Amino acid sequence: MAILCEKTHRFYTDYLNKSELEHTTLTAGCPFCLSGGKKNAGKLVIYLNQDGFFNGYFRCTNRCVPGGFPLWFAKLAKIDPEKAPGYDPDSTPYLAGVKYPASNINHELVQFTDKLTPDVAERFTVRGISPSVLNTMKIGYNGRYLVYPYIREDGNCYSAKCVFPDRAEDSFWYGDEKFYDLDSPLYNVEEIGRCENGTIFLCEGEDNLLTIKQLGFPAVAVHSLDGFEKIDPAQFGKVETIFIVTINRAESEAAARQFASRVGFKVRLMPWPATTPKDYSLWQMAKDEGKNFQQAVVKMIGASRAFSPFASPERENSLFIQRMTQEGGEQYTSMHTGFKKLDEHLEGVHGINVIGGAPKVGKSAFMIQIATEMSLRGIPVLYYDFENGRQKIYQRTLSRLSSLKVSQLRSGNLNGEERERFAEKSAELKKMLYYFRVVNDRKVSPEIMRRHIDFIRHETRKDFPVVVIDSLHKLPFKDFSERRTGIDAWLRQMESIRDELQVSFLVISELSRGGGDTYMDEPHMGMFKGSGDIEYSADNAMIFRPSGQLVEDPDKRVNQLWLVASREQAPGRIADYKVQYPYWGFIEV
């Protein structure tokens, strides 16, 4: 049930003669018609539903003045603004920051409107748009093109859009080139000032705006899809609600949502019914619906929802249940490295896992082994390599799989049994490459990485890919001097990608030298080089280090893997790993 807004009701009745109230609609003789010398004064209609979007909105049935809300009424009626509901003494006007020239094309608009013959106006008439609306909006005709004047905030027109009737692609701008589309994205921009503390429509396209104006609602429009991103949200700072109505197409909805994300909760997107044809618009609907057009628009208003950056509670719960079900599935639970103790300790590869190690300790070989073993089991892996090169990664993988030296692989000097082993493991490698993609692009960005992830998920039909970064300190930064902040920025991006795309990371990091200028200190978080954010970003932080004194015989070398920090697991020594020399692998001891 509509509730009368008493405060706004009192304001209008104080300044109107012989007003009549019916439910929540107030009517009176239009004072602006009378003061303007009109013989047949129109009625002033005022909506007073305190819970409605248009509470306080007034309009003249004669359209003698543009409609608006109480502060605009006070300005037109020369009333002290302090007496108007919603007056804010500290409010400052929006400044477009535009320097207006001395000359304009106001006088030319009169010539154009005079040429708008009934035959030309027929395209508007069949959609119910009256001559009074065309006159109010100063729509004209130059003998070939319709003219839509873009009147600026100062009340003058410096440019106009000329459109061939019913062929929107055939258009051009007329007037001062400084005020063409790039500088004047909003049509009927003066309307914003009339809607302070009220509601306004933002339409895609001038013709769609005209259908809203015919219904008596306040509206502005962008002349094209690109106009949404050119709008300064501050222009709507004093407006309470913005209804956005676009052409029914995905591109338009995306542009409107992007604008809404910059403006916030005051935006309400008007949805098209599911059965609406693609590229349908208010312009077409006005023709199709005829007298039922207003009812159809009111229905769309009722179906609108305030723009929210959050999913609905129902959607949030559905996503939670879906994600929990996925995490209980085989794809998620089988994301193992192939090293039994490591997998038991971490409960699989999930989240952001940072592994630090000294130079030449075998970090890359260890990570290549984990990544390729996962790919061999059908887990998609993106390996961002800035250390070794694609060829070395493949050679070392084949060497480990076949237990053949890289020099043998290169020379092809193999006996019968070795040749069979080579052929078998080469076939495995070829099959593995469907799930294992090496990226050497040193210009990679978070956006490019997201596209790679989307591709490999689509290609492999797997929901949980793994991203390996070798190494964190060689990711591209804008400037070398920004290395510390650049690393931390990348870690922030990894957190976002992890959460949004269900991606797990294996990240190699450099270490700082400790006591005695060595890397042999007891493993701890402070050993990671160049980023304090690893402590906060990593789900698991590990250090890969020699077990003791370095030995001459590489076949006897053993490394230790330590978990130094974890969100869910107890820190400590995970396992020892014996070097599988010369086959570029490790065996968990």
Q: What are the boundaries of each domain within the chain? A: 6-83, 106-306, 330-588
Mean pLDDT computed over 495-522: 90
- In this prediction, residue 184 carries a pLDDT of 65
Question: Measuring CA to CA, which residue among 389, 354, 373, 508 is closest to residue 436?
Answer: 373
Q: For residues 136 and 216, give the distance between their C-alpha atoms in angstroms, rounded to a whole number.
A: 12
pLDDT cut 70: percent of the chain above it = 97
Question: Measuring CA to CA, which residue among 563, 560, 550 is closest to residue 589?
Answer: 560
Of 200-204, 231-235, 304-308, least confident by mean pLDDT is 304-308
Q: pLDDT: is 567 or 548 the higher one? A: 567
- In this prediction, residue 522 carries a pLDDT of 87
6-83: CATH number: 3.90.580.10
Q: Are strands 305-306 and 352-357 parallel, antiparallel or unpaired?
A: unpaired
**Residue reference for tokens 């899809």:** 225
For residue 275, pLDDT over 70 is answered with: yes
Q: pLDDT: is 40 or 105 the higher one? A: 105
- In this prediction, residue 479 carries a pLDDT of 54
Q: pLDDT: is 439 or 313 the higher one? A: 439
Does the domain at 330-588 match CATH 3.40.50.300? Answer given as yes
- In this prediction, residue 182 carries a pLDDT of 63
- In this prediction, residue 34 carries a pLDDT of 80
Q: Which two tokens stand for residue 64?
A: 């003698």
- pLDDT, tens digit (0-9, with 9 covering 90-100), for 381-396: 999 999 899 999 999 9
Burial 548-579 (b: 16+ CB within 10 A, else e): eeeeeeeeebebbbbbbbbeeeebeebbebbb
In whole numbers, what is the pLDDT of the chain averaged over residues?
A: 92
DSSP state letter for 405: -
For residue 576, pLDDT over 70 is answered with: yes
Task: Please give the angle made by the CA atoms of 328, 334 and 336, to the nearest 5 degrees.
Answer: 135
Task: Please give the angle made by the CA atoms of 441, 444 and 449, to the nearest 5 degrees.
Answer: 115
Q: Tell me if domain 6-83 and domain 330-588 are identical in fold.
A: no
- In this prediction, residue 551 carries a pLDDT of 63
**Residue reference for tokens 């004093």:** 238
Question: Measuring CA to CA, which residue among 247, 295, 269, 277 is closest to residue 128?
Answer: 295
Cβ–Cβ < 8 Å for 384, 469: yes
pLDDT classification of 185: cutoffs 50, 70, 90: confident
For residue 181, pLDDT over 80 is answered with: no
For residue 578, pLDDT over 80 is answered with: yes
For residue 532, pLDDT over 80 is answered with: no
CA distances from residue 101 to 12, 172, 193 in whole angstroms, order as listed: 38, 21, 21
Mean pLDDT computed over 404-409: 96
Q: Does this model's pTM top 0.75?
A: no
Alpha helices in 205-362 (DSSP H): 206-214, 227-230, 250-263, 282-289, 293-303, 313-327, 330-333, 340-346
Strand, helix or coil for residue 354: strand
**φ and ψ of 349, to 5 deg:** -90, 105
Alpha helices in 502-552 (DSSP H): 534-537
Q: Which two tokens stand for residue 94?
A: 């929006």
Of 197-211, 267-281, 296-310, 493-507, least confident by mean pLDDT is 296-310
- In this prediction, residue 313 carries a pLDDT of 83
Q: In the CATH hierarchy, which fold is given to the domain comprising 106-306?
A: Dna Topoisomerase Vi A Subunit; Chain: A, domain 2 (3.40.1360)
Of 72-81, 214-223, 317-326, least confident by mean pLDDT is 317-326
- In this prediction, residue 312 carries a pLDDT of 75
Mean pLDDT computed over 215-240: 94
Mean pLDDT computed over 249-258: 94
Cβ–Cβ < 8 Å for 43, 58: no
Q: Which two tokens stand for residue 556?
A: 């006897």
- In this prediction, residue 480 carries a pLDDT of 47
- pLDDT, tens digit (0-9, with 9 covering 90-100), for 19-39: 999 999 999 999 999 876 677
Q: Which two tokens stand for residue 442?
A: 């040193």
Question: Measuring CA to CA, which residue among 379, 389, 386 is closest to residue 456?
Answer: 379
- In this prediction, residue 73 carries a pLDDT of 97
pLDDT classification of 549: cutoffs 50, 70, 90: low
- pLDDT, tens digit (0-9, with 9 covering 90-100), for 437-489: 999 988 899 999 999 999 999 999 999 999 999 999 999 876 545 666 888 99
pLDDT classification of 156: cutoffs 50, 70, 90: very high
- In this prediction, residue 521 carries a pLDDT of 84
